[in-house]
Amino acid sequence: MTIPLSAPDIGEQDIEAVAAVLRTPHLSLGPKLEEFEFSLANYLGVSHAIAVSSGTAGLHLCLRALEISEGDEVIVPSFTFIAVANAVRYQRATPIFVDIDLTSPNLNADLLEEAITARTKAIVAVHTFGIPAELDRILEIARRHNLFVIEDACEAIGAEYNGQKIGTFGHAAVFGFYPNKQITTGEGGAVVTNNTALAATVRQLRNQGRNGSNDWFQHSELGYNYRLSDINCALGVEQLKRLDPILVRRESIAKIYNSALAGFAAFVLPPLELPQRRISWFVYVLQLNDRMDVQCRDWIVREMKSRGIATGRYFAPIHLQPIYKSYPGRTVSLPVTESRASRSLALPFFNRIRDEEIREVADALVELIPRFTGRNP
Ligand SMILES: *Cc1c(COP(=O)(O)O)cnc(C)c1O
């Protein structure tokens, strides 16, 4: 593969910062953890950030700290990464899938109320592809029904809604720093909240349920090892310093794609701007028009691969995954999710992609149009 779908952006400063940690005795629970948490909280303007070993761990800790447990229901999208529903199941609670909007990849707020039951405890608002979910309505419905809102901001660091940073709206929010995200710590994630008690619980559960740092063998809760090492945190500190230019570059890549692919009826391109929102570009995903199907999309992926260009589907709906197909004992039908997922095509998208590579991808795709539509572009 000559052009990958994603690639981390690691500079000399990142490497230096990681190496510097290795020259100290503080590889875990050290000063870089504190610095990373402080920088992230400061960037977002929240009171507490707790770094954890992954975004998935962060989601699990939020649900656990909010005491979501067996018999409870949590509303989630299916058009997202499987960790969102899995974390609910780790607590033996039930994920209730709600369809997405026709015009955005996020939860359709019109469908929330009919999904709420006496067992519903929370809504996970995922900011899919870095596009802020419809927070005004989600928060209003949650308030009326006394539900928690957890923002899954793993794909959306730096995105804004009504001029306010994503991750600061719900009771808690989760970020993820896997290498395909806007910034990375290798593996890692963070929980952020303005609720001091919630933050303390998450901090305790992350570290085996320890009461504090004073007594290493005093465990008052069934906790986990969800810690993030200082090696990872050092990388996070450096990456976070570069977040603003990274987001500018990613937006400009999306713009280049959109102008190269504009005017072809075969493609529905992602909007570059949306009312009330600043997008933090996570991936560049276009849709084939609704005359195309999944076979067509998969054919394009194979053809692009044979030209050395990685493309992919984003997302494979959770409710159609083998482990969810007969869960929780009933079939779920989410027509918009299924239709969108079958026609989605993610293109190579990473900070260091060169402008000529973007054009090469776009040219290769345009060349294929007559072969899958039977018409000239
Ligand atoms: C990346 C991501 C996560 C977290 O993934 P990890 O690999 O556990 O860090 C969670 N939710 C969504 C929507 C994601 O895209």
CA-181 nearest atom, ligand 1: 1
Q: pLDDT digit string (tens) for 86-111?
A: 999 999 999 999 999 999 999 999 99
The DSSP-derived string for 99-123 is PBPSSSSSB-GGGHHHH--TTEEEE
Q: pLDDT digit string (tens) for 326-337?
A: 777 667 889 999
Task: State how beta strands 284-288 and 344-347 pair.
Answer: antiparallel
CA-126 nearest atom, ligand 1: 13
Cα separation of 240 and 346, whole Å?
A: 25
The DSSP-derived string for 159-200 is -EETTEETTSSSSEEEEE--TTSSS--SS-EEEEES-HHHHH
Q: Is 221 left (phi over 0), alpha (psi -120 to 50) or beta?
A: beta
Report the pLDDT value the prediction gives residue 211, as an integer from 0 to 100: 77
Cα separation of 84 and 376, whole Å?
A: 41
Are 351 and 9 contacting, i.e. CB atoms less than 8 angstroms apart?
yes
Residue 327, C-beta contacts closer than 8 angstroms, at least 6 positions apart: none
Report the pLDDT value the prediction gives residue 1, as an integer from 0 to 100: 66
Are 202 and 62 contacting, i.e. CB atoms less than 8 angstroms apart?
yes
Which segments in the chain show pLDDT lower than 70?
A: 1, 213-214, 329-330, 376-377
Which of 32, 121, 165, 181 is catalytic? The answer is 181
Q: pLDDT digit string (tens) for 248-270?
A: 999 999 999 999 999 999 999 99
79 CB under 6 A from ligand 1?
Answer: no
176 CB under 6 A from ligand 1?
Answer: yes
Q: Whose CA is nearest to atom 3 of ligand 1?
A: 55
**Domains in the chain, start-ordered, CATH in brackets?**
12-241 (3.40.640.10), 243-373 (3.90.1150.10)
| Catalytic (active site) residue 181 | yes
How far is the centre of ligand 1, averaged over its atoms, from the C-alpha of 366 (Å)? 31
The DSSP-derived string for 234-263 is HHHHHHHHTHHHHHHHHHHHHHHHHHHHTT
54 CB under 6 A from ligand 1?
Answer: yes
Are 127 and 156 contacting, i.e. CB atoms less than 8 angstroms apart?
yes
Are 175 and 57 contacting, i.e. CB atoms less than 8 angstroms apart?
no
Q: pLDDT digit string (tens) for 107-144?
A: 999 999 999 999 999 999 999 999 999 999 999 999 99
Report the pLDDT value the prediction gives residue 219, as an integer from 0 to 100: 84
Q: Which of 157, 143, 165, 198 is nearest to 55 (CA)?
A: 157
**Model pTM above 0.85:** yes
Q: Whose CA is nearest to atom 14 of ligand 1?
A: 154
Report the pLDDT value the prediction gives residue 326, as an integer from 0 to 100: 78
